[in-house]
Amino acid sequence: MGLNGTIRVPSDKSITHRAIMFGAVADGRTVVLKPLLGEDCRSTIEAVRRLGATVEELADELVITGVRTLEAATLDCGNSGTTMRLLTGLLAGYDGEFVLTGDASLSKRPMRRVTAPLRQMKAKIDGDHAPLRVTGGRLHGIDYTLPVASAQVKSAVLLAGLRATEETIVREPMLSRDHTERLLPLFGGNVTIGEENGVRLIRVMPSQLTGTAVTIPADPSSAAFLWAGAAIIANSRVTTTDVCLNETRIGFLRTLEKMGANVEIDRVRPLGEETVADVTVSTSDLHGVELSGAAIPHQIDELPLFALVASQASSPSVVRDAAELRVKETDRIVTVVTELRALGIDIHETEDGFIVNPSQVRGGRVMAHGDHRLSMMLQVAALLTEETVEIEGMEVSDVSYPHFRDDLQRLDREIE
């Protein structure tokens, strides 16, 4: 039995977060069509409601009425790093006192990467870990070179820049996902992209946003689990429709192609500021690859899944330059290596990545560690063996992909 069928996976998490936040401070109404309503995005919805914005939930649509002055509030960001880091930047330039809290995992994640540049802009922020206390006020523009390839840090600085007294420049030596700079101009944000000595440069001028309509494409980071399953499970062929084909997001698809996977990309078409396509992956003979450098940010969220896929290839694979994995929802180098070893996979931890050898998956008891992407990767792994795989805390996949298990079972059953 393989995975077979056509599916539109849930909408993109990164773009949904941004559309909600921008709508919350824009003049007038913003309509978000096909939003992702997973737990992380719900944290953002609740946060902007507490700030005074109105968010109406209609069928497959959010209608947001923005506000120009924000209410002082305590905002629970739950498990969502994007909510906490982007809101910290957004709020720093608004009068009021805002406290941002998070769950146990989020409270351990580093926030200095956003508080440091924001303090350079003269933001008043207490704490370098959640809870953060932001006392909004007058901000100054800065010229900031990102020390880590991080879309969350880039976005926090750009959003603070909307409220600064002069221009803000962010220099990005390694390109990270670019949804913020694509979406802000749609809301009337004054953003321009340039290049200096091979370094990408984003300029933002102080701007008041205006409401607009945004249609969210399907999330390539969610589709990735089905592409992976289709590539490594015998007799499979899965089509995922309307997937965001932004090159900063589909590093994993490019990796599958490099490994020799059967990938078809059809109906490539624009959707607002993004490009979407239908992507079909079928059972493939894969060989190992080495991933490092600039390729890493474009598939950072898919590297746990890559570890599983690499174990089904005919030769070893290596991931380097991916120390960022250690500060995600879990230390994803440790959790991926530990849980995949428990299923019989020959994988070894390195300082900034891992080495995977061809292996056969066997049954066992594993843990999701409260990490949605680990849970989904393990659910795909379970399809590779006839033995029982027990996954403790599997329901955490709802953070980014509500009903993942149902979708997987539906595809798994189609040829029964």
Cα→Cα distances 207→164, 165, 273, Å: 9, 10, 19
Q: Quick count: other Cβ atoms within 10 Å of Cβ 194? A: 11
Cα separation values, 416 from 2, 26, 208, 239, 412, Å = 9, 50, 55, 18, 8
What is the smallest separation between the CB atom of 407 and ligand S3P, expressed in angstroms?
20
CA distances for 196 relative to 145, 182, 202, angstroms? 12, 19, 10
Q: What is the C-alpha separation between 360 and 345, in angstroms, rounded?
A: 7
Cβ 113 to ligand S3P shortest distance, Å: 8
How far, rounded to the nearest angstrom, does the alpha carbon of residue 27 sit from its chain's CA centroid? Answer: 27
Residues with Cβ within 8 Å of residue 116, at least 6 apart in sequence:
none
14 a known binding residue?
yes
328 marked as binding residue:
yes
Closer CB to ligand S3P, 176 or 215, in the complex: 176
In the complex, least distance from residue 264 CB atom to ligand S3P, rounded to whole angstroms: 27
With respect to ligand S3P, which residue has the nearer C-beta, 319 or 389? Answer: 319
CA 343 to chain centre: 26
Q: Which helix (H) or strand (E) holds 5?
A: strand 4-7
- Choosing from 76, 219, 301, 371, which is the catalytic residue? 301
Question: Closest separation between CB of residue 67 and ligand S3P, Å?
Answer: 23
| Alpha-carbon gap, residue 33 to 387, rounded angstroms | 42
Asked if 407 is an active-site residue, the reply is: no
Q: Is 150 annotated as a binding residue?
A: yes
| Residue number, 246 or 283, with CB nearest to ligand S3P | 246
Binding site residues, ligand S3P, CB under 6 A: 14, 82, 150-152, 155, 176-177, 300-301, 324
Which of 248, 284 has the CB closer to ligand S3P?
248
CB atoms within 10 A of CB 258: 14
Chain residue at closest Cβ approach to ligand S3P: 14
| Residue 200 among known ligand-binding residues | no
| Least spacing, CB of residue 32 vs ligand S3P, in Å | 15
CB 82 to ligand S3P: min, Å: 4
d(CA 240, CA 289): 24
23 is in an annotated binding site: no
CA gap 404, 409 in Å, rounded: 9
**Ligand-binding site membership of 260 (annotated):** no
Q: Which helix or strand (DSSP H or E) is residue 75 part of?
A: strand 73-76
Query: Closest Cα partner for 188 from 51, 70, 23?
Result: 23
- Residue 223 or 411: the one with the smaller Cβ distance to ligand S3P is 223
Pick the closer one to ligand S3P by CB: 176 or 241.
176
Does 373 show up as a binding residue in the annotation? yes
**Cα dist. 111→87, 116, 313, 354, 398 in Å?**
12, 8, 37, 25, 24
Give CA separation, 337 vs 282, 306, 378, 395, in Å.
26, 12, 12, 21
119 is an annotated ligand-binding site residue: no
Q: At what angle do helices 39-50 and 81-91 cross, to 10 degrees?
A: 30
Q: Minimum distance from CB of 161 to ligand S3P (Å)?
A: 16
Which residues are annotated binding-site positions for phosphoenolpyruvate? 13, 81, 109, 152, 332, 373
State the catalytic residues. Answer: 301
Which residues are annotated binding-site positions for 3-phosphoshikimate? 13-14, 18, 150, 152, 301, 328
Which residues are annotated binding-site positions? 13-14, 18, 81, 109, 150, 152, 301, 328, 332, 373
